[in-house]
């Protein structure tokens, strides 16, 4: 079940190293500034292959 | 975009998915750190300072005036419900009687800017109005800090903010870095 989170909640999750952060914006937007440590997987490319870099048993925060 | 991505990630087998729907715009606007090779311009957060005096709307002008003047400022921001900026007391407020309540004379709902606003554009607007101080807040109105026009001009020229304060006659207070919002 997807859970919506606020900015403060995301900060807490990142600070406690409890999530992998995924930026689904196009690469150009990702390069113009992203949340530190975020992995770029543009929405249009989101599939089984491109998400192999993620640990599926570890929570993911997406924006 | 992110709700679709969150749904897709879940379908791809990620066990727990959080959706930060407000996204990078909200993150940047709160002055939180970002990284990336394309960060080529200065923003309000580069000239922001966090030592502006604050008070509660229920405080008396006598008490607030003493604190603000002792800190070397002319302005005081009125905050409530935590850190929400709901008013501003300017220099003229200090002419009121000591027992006047801040909420009776404050400027209600002062204009604010986001931390990710390009600094050159902000300074141009400050020059045009003209105004010497702008409040930087999160999209929800939480106080992050203020930008002083003279300091912002020097930041645009490449001077470090700490150094600017040391030789700035027209700058208020004692410079202290702003804290990123949460």
Complex ipTM above 0.95?
A: yes
Strand A20-23 vs strand A3-4: parallel, antiparallel, or unpaired? unpaired
Confirm or reject contact between B28 and chain A (CB < 8 A). Answer: yes
Contacts of B9 in chain A (CB under 8 A): 22, 46, 51, 60, 62
Q: What is the pTM of this model?
A: 0.70
Nearest beta carbon to residue B182 from set A8, A36, A51: A8
**Nearest Cβ partner for B34 among A28, A35, A57:** A35
Give B11-54 pLDDT, tens digit per residue.
Answer: 999 999 999 998 998 888 888 888 987 666 788 888 888 889 99
> Is A9–B18 a contact, with Cβ atoms under 8 angstroms apart?
yes
Residues whose CB falls within 8 Å of the CB of residue B83, separated by 6 or more in sequence, listed in order = B142, B143
> Which has the closest alpha carbon to B57: B22, B97, B104?
B104
What pLDDT score was predicted for residue B182? Answer: 42
Q: Do B27 and A35 touch (CB under 8 A)?
A: yes
Of the pLDDT bands very low, low, confident and very high (cuts 50, 70, 90), residue B4 is: very high
Residue (of B155, B140, B164) closest to A8 by Cα position: B140
Please enumerate in sequence order all residues whose Cβ is within 8 A of that of B114, keeping only pairs 6 or more positions apart, or say none.
B28, B29, B44, B136, B137, B138, B139
pLDDT (tens digit per residue) in B11-23: 999 999 999 998 9
Asked, as a colleague might, if the bond just before B130 is cis with ω within 30 of 0, I would say: yes
């Amino acid at each position: 079940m997807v859970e919506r989170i606020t900015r403060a909640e995301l900060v807490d999750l990142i600070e406690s190293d409890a999530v992998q952060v995924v930026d689904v914006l196009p690469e150009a937007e990702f390069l113009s500034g992203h949340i530190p440590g975020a992995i770029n997987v543009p929405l249009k490319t989101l599939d089984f292959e491109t998400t192999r870099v993620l640990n599926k048993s570890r929570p993911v925060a997406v924006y | 975009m992110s709700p679709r991505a969150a749904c897709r990630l879940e379908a791809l087998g990620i066990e727990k998915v959080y959706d930060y729907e407000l996204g990078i715009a909200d993150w940047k606007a709160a002055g939180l750190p970002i990284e990336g090779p394309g960060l080529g311009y200065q923003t309000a957060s580069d000239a922001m300072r966090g030592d502006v005096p604050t008070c509660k709307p229920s405080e008396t002008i006598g008490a607030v005036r003493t604190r603000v003047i002792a800190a070397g400022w002319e302005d005081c921001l009125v905050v409530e419900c935590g850190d929400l900026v709901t008013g501003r007391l300017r220099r003229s407020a200090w002419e009121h009687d000591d027992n006047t309540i801040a909420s009776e004379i404050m400027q209600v709902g002062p204009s604010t800017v986001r931390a990710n606003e390009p600094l050159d554009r902000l300074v141009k607007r400050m020059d045009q109005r003209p105004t010497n101080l702008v409040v930087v807040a999160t999209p929800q109105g939480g106080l992050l800090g203020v930008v002083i026009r003279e300091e912002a001009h020097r930041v645009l020229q490449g001077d470090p903010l700490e150094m600017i304060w040391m030789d700035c006659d027209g700058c208020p207070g004692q410079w202290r870095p702003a804290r990123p919002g949460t």
